[in-house]
Structure 1
Amino acid sequence: MLDAVQQAIISGDAALALARIEALAGRFQRDRPDAETRAEIERSLLHLRRLAEDSARGTQRAIAQIKDILQNARMLQTYDQAGRRQQTPTNAVLPQRF
């Protein structure tokens, strides 16, 4: 089940990752792992947490880059044949995630 959570995180499917984490938590509540198994699970969960945090940081950097690109695109200036500056507004809207 931990591998399934990892694959969902890697694929960027947050809803699937959350569903699999909840299923995993339910399984741990039903079938209490022994101390040795619990230590292995905790190491795996720490790895998954780091993976998710890295993914979130990468996503935030990508969002920032897209915002910069959109802002620069909105400020494009062109010149006509007479040398007059023409501003070309774009209708691009900033992406939002909910």
Structure 2
Amino acid sequence: MKPKHRQLLDGVEQAIIQGNGALALDRIEALARQLERDGLDDASKAKMEKTLQHLLRLAKDSARGTQRAIDQIRDIVKNARSLQTYDQTGQRHNTPTQAILAQRF
């Protein structure tokens, strides 16, 4: 595998680790263009396939972790919307909040 290919793959991996999907896609497209220009021999193809499988697992794990975090935040906001407090006389008051869940796609 050429050093330029390795550098592009490392850039994709860093973008995935940073959670920057747009940058990862840009770098994947740059890698694809570079590979189109340069081509790959059989040994490099095997290494590239192994590396791409690693990046795929990394991206899937990142997506699962992000989804778990989103679910936890939803639970926190849901619980915060229905806070129950007690006044000095022991009366319970339900104080709903108007927090709006932010959604990013």
Asked if Structure 1 and Structure 2 have the same fold, meaning a TM-score greater than 0.5 normalized by the shorter chain, the answer is: yes
Which amino acid is the alignment partner of residue 43 of structure 2?
A: E
In 2, Cα distance between equivalents of 1:91 and 1:19: 38
The residue number in structure 2 matching 1:8 is: 15
The residue number in structure 2 matching 1:17 is: 24
Q: Deviations 1:48-69 (Å, cap 9, x if unpaired)? A: 0000000000000000000000
User: Percent of aligned positions with the same letter in both sequences?
Assistant: 63
Q: Deviations 1:31-88 (Å, cap 9, x if unpaired)? A: 1101100100000000000000000000000000000000011111011112211111
Aligned residues: 98
Gaps of 5+ in 2: 1-7
The residue number in structure 1 matching 2:66 is: 59
Gaps of 5+ in 1: none
**Structure 1 counterpart of 2:98, from 71, 91, 94:** 91
Q: Give the TM-score normalised by structure 2.
A: 0.89
Taking only aligned residues, the RMSD between alpha carbons, in angstroms, comes to 0.8
Matches within 5 A, 1:59-78: 59-78=66-85
The residue number in structure 1 matching 2:41 is: 34
In 2, Cα distance between equivalents of 1:36 and 1:10: 27
Post-superposition offset of 1:95: 2.1
* Bigger shift: residues 35-44 or 81-90: 81-90
Post-superposition offset of 1:91: 2.1
